Amino acid sequence: MPHPLGQRLFLTATLTALCAAPAFARPAPFRWERIHVLHLLPSALFAKLGLTHITRNGDTRDGKQGVPDPRFPPGLTDVVPYDADRLLLARGTAEGLYLFRLRVVAADVEPLPLHLTAALTRRAGTDDLPVGTAEQEGVGDGVPTELHVGDGGAARVYQIKVRANADGSYWVACRASLPLPTPPDAASPALADVFVPDRIWTTPISRKVRAGEAATFPDLASTRRAEARKLTAVGADTPDDYTLRVTLMPHTATLLEPTAPF
């Protein structure tokens, strides 16, 4: 029968060895975090960072070890852009998320303002007759710009919105204003507090261009009539087809000028 003192010494040595043995290191916990984007469209910033929707680094969602991607900071597993909410949804460790936030801040730079030129032509048989031009300086990224092209009451109204892409190109969206006739009872006291629109906008059309290139937008009479019918409204007569050409150039105020010597 073993001596009690020997049993006690054996148990003490065993516990000491177990406590001194290196424990298996648990992986750092992953968590989701919202990173808000201030200037660029999240999808454009996502592309600017060289990421894709299927790129993952290290541990994946199911806990398996993935192939490390050098474009991801260590400890980051997922990044998904959400343009509607102006944010990137990222998953990773606390350190990985911190490093990624630093990259986002460095890349989320406000695009330079642009100089926008719009030229409108009217189709007459086989000829395109010039109607007018309009220019706008300092057009910002994602800010709608309203242009009146033409003379006086014949001027046509357009709204232009520009978005910068990660590859240096731009998405240019254009929609046309469709005037609505004034209702016969618009002056009635019963409608004094009722908002009565005087125009509607056509469905926007988007074109991808680079600085110096022209984006062409057809403004067809048939399109205007179709848009008016959506609201069962009869707009002004639009018998002619028009074409709007929009050109983007860097804003002149953003160009560096030589400084005069003292």
Each residue's pLDDT expressed in tens, for the chain with a length of 262 residues: 555 555 555 555 554 554 554 544 555 688 999 999 988 888 888 888 888 766 565 555 555 555 556 666 777 888 889 988 999 999 888 988 998 999 899 888 877 788 999 999 988 888 888 988 999 888 887 888 998 888 666 688 999 999 888 788 889 999 998 877 776 666 677 666 776 677 888 889 999 999 899 999 998 888 877 777 766 555 555 678 889 999 999 876 444 444 444 3
Q: Enter the pTM of the model.
A: 0.63
Tell me the fold of 29-107: Ribosomal Protein S8; Chain: A, domain 1 (3.30.1370)
Query: Which 3-state string (H, E, C) describes 195-226?
Result: CCCCEEECCCEEEEECCCCEEEEEECHHHHHH
Half-sphere exposure of 62 toward its Cβ, with a 13 Å CA cutoff?
A: 2
What are the structural domain ranges in the chain?
29-107, 114-182+196-252
Distances (CA, A) of 143 to 14, 18, 139, 252: 72, 65, 7, 18
Measured distance between the N- and C-terminal CA atoms of the chain, rounded to whole angstroms: 103
